[in-house]
Amino acid sequence: MIPLHFDNGLIPVIAQDAETNEVLMLAYANEEAVKLTIATGQAHYFSRSRKRLWKKGEESGHTQRVVRILTDCDEDALIYQIEQEGAACHLGYRSCFFRTIDGAFIAEKVFNPGEVYANKQE
């Protein structure tokens, strides 16, 4: 594994649909999350708000099977190329990037968050 540069213990991770290249979310990983992702083939992150390691889909079932991991020229960012189970966004959209910067919606919900999450923390 290439030595990665963590900033305060974290590295930004772009989750990207391995087939369509759609960007589904941007999250952060610590070294343990990266190693767990490699070891299990399932995307793991570090939640900055909850301050803990987090397996994507642990509550919702919307897991991410990791096909390939890329790093950039500076080794300070990652791409998880994934197959997304269900949807990536906790608000019910396939991608967290469902709006333009002007607030226009470019996607529709694919699930009802109230039926998937006991609490809406993810």
Give 65: exposed, middle or buried? Use CB within 10 Å, 0-12, 13-18, 19+.
middle
* Interface with its own copies (CB under 8 A), residue from 5, 26, 110, 121: 26
Distance of CA 43 to the CA centre of its chain: 7
Are 66 and 45 spatial neighbours (Cβ–Cβ below 8 Å)?
A: no
Stretch touching its own copies by CB under 8 A, among 18-26, 39-47, 50-58: 18-26
Are 24 and 13 spatial neighbours (Cβ–Cβ below 8 Å)?
A: no
Residue with tokens 């952060």: 28
- Binding status of residue 45 toward its own copies by CB under 8 A: no
CB of 68 to its own copies, least distance (A): 6
Q: How many residues bind its own copies (CB under 8 A)?
A: 37
- Binding status of residue 108 toward its own copies by CB under 8 A: no
- Binding status of residue 111 toward its own copies by CB under 8 A: no
Q: Is 42 helix (H, G, I), strand (E, B) or coil?
A: strand
Query: Distance between CA 7 and CA 33 in Å, rounded?
Result: 14
- Binding status of residue 47 toward its own copies by CB under 8 A: no
Stretch touching its own copies by CB under 8 A, among 23-31, 39-47, 51-59: 23-31
Binding interface with its own copies (CB under 8 A): 1-2, 4, 12, 14, 16, 20-23, 25-26, 34, 38, 68-74, 77-79, 89-91, 93, 96-103, 106
